[in-house]
Copies of this chain bind each other. A is one copy, B any other.
Amino acid sequence: MREVAVVGCGMTRFGRSERSLVDLLVEASLKAISDAGACERDFDAVYVGNMCSGEFNMVTGVAAALADRVGLIPSAADRVENGPASGGSAVKAGFLAVASGLYDMVLVAGGEKMTSTPTGRVADVIATLTHPEREYKYGATLPSFGGLLMRMYMERYGVKRESISLVAVKNHKNGALNPYAHFQKEVTLEEVLRSPVIADPLRLYDTCPISDGAAAVVLCPANAAKEFTDTPVLVKGVGQATDVQSVAEREDPTVLNALRVAAGKAYAMAGVTPRDVDVAELHDAFTILEIVESEDAGLFEKGKGAKAVEEGETWIGGRIPVNPSGGLKARGHPLGATGVAQIVELTWQLRGEAGRRQVDGAETGLAVNFGGFGNSIVVHVLQRR
């Protein structure tokens, strides 16, 4: 298997946009291609991470449309969908295309257009990720599972809701340093605790916003990376796994088994352990998810993730900064864009180009992209060459 490098990155600002999904994908893609200095190169393939172009925006075949708009014809083009982990899965598809030896120049773009849609059915469409007969038909939504998980976790591990909501304070603080973030504004713990209840005990500021946006990376074989950049970042480990779809049927719903398997595979492939991780982008669609993921990815013992936030370990300047970008909570969560944006942020961090939110000396980065309600998870480990 060939080693694969990220040699170009780009993204739109996340937030509310008047532009179309494909317009957003075009902007991120052109920035990534330009960042790689690859404007005059032929690309072999385009992969687009997107969950709901048809359901939200009444457009399909967006990967081929992007190849046309960016001038990459006759490049191959596919869309990859894995729910909110579509971006991570698209990066993995691009990785495999290069690692296999079939393709040398691959563009991976992730995007979603959610704030205004002709169908107006955003929340309901996302809820179709739940089990059709055992969950969806009873009105279950992803935030409702977030609330149940938070309550169960608090009881099981004796953790206060304030400790979990500190994730929002931290991630808004980081987002305020990120010019691409949807929310570039700090919030206090009191504001989080006073915000409206979404799914008790989950409150509005415990949840990510609905955002528009796109992110993109250019991938090539590691041995060609120097043609494009002095600071290639390698995709060293890739792991992906599934779990039982119906949350109630899981042995312990506070444990993300799919993450444990996926992270184990990614670490093994990269030849690292969780102790080697210098910076992590986790999928904090809800504050509780960052805590649980930080544990099941092996960064902290089970039940100790909230304590790590309280003690500053996951803040910038701490032992393992988590979501220096602001995460889904503050950078925003245009579904298909998120997994690609995580790779963009880690690349900037490993290159030392993350500006005021830079994690000093970061050499190894971890990305966790969470699909369904944790039943399909994609993990990447990146390293500075």
Choose the segment among A168-176, A313-321, A369-377 that binds chain B (4+ C-beta atoms closer than 8 Å): A369-377
Does A191 interact with chain B (Cβ within 8 Å)?
A: no
Does A128 interact with chain B (Cβ within 8 Å)?
A: yes
Does A54 interact with chain B (Cβ within 8 Å)?
A: yes
Chain B neighbourhood of A83, CB < 8 A: 60-61, 64
Does A268 interact with chain B (Cβ within 8 Å)?
A: no
Tell which of B82, B129, B257 touches A78, judged by Cβ atoms closer than 8 Å.
Answer: B82
Tell which of B58, B96, B128, B242 touches A60, judged by Cβ atoms closer than 8 Å.
Answer: B128
Q: Contacts A61-B129, A89-B78, A128-B54: A68 and B1 contacting too (C-beta < 8 A)?
A: no
Chain B neighbourhood of A67, CB < 8 A: 242
Q: Contacts A61-B371, A77-B376, A82-B78: A68 and B240 contacting too (C-beta < 8 A)?
A: no
Does A9 interact with chain B (Cβ within 8 Å)?
A: no
A258 touches B74 (CB 8 A): yes
Chain B neighbourhood of A378, CB < 8 A: 76
Chain B neighbourhood of A125, CB < 8 A: 54, 60
Copies per complex of this chain = 2
Tell which of B52, B59, B100 touches A99, judged by Cβ atoms closer than 8 Å.
Answer: B100
Give A93-109 as 1s and 0s: 1 = Cβ < 8 Å from B's Cβ atoms: 10011011110000000
A97 to B98 CA separation, bound complex (whole angstroms):
11
A257 touches B74 (CB 8 A): yes
Does A51 interact with chain B (Cβ within 8 Å)?
A: yes
B60 touches A129 (CB 8 A): yes
Does A297 interact with chain B (Cβ within 8 Å)?
A: no
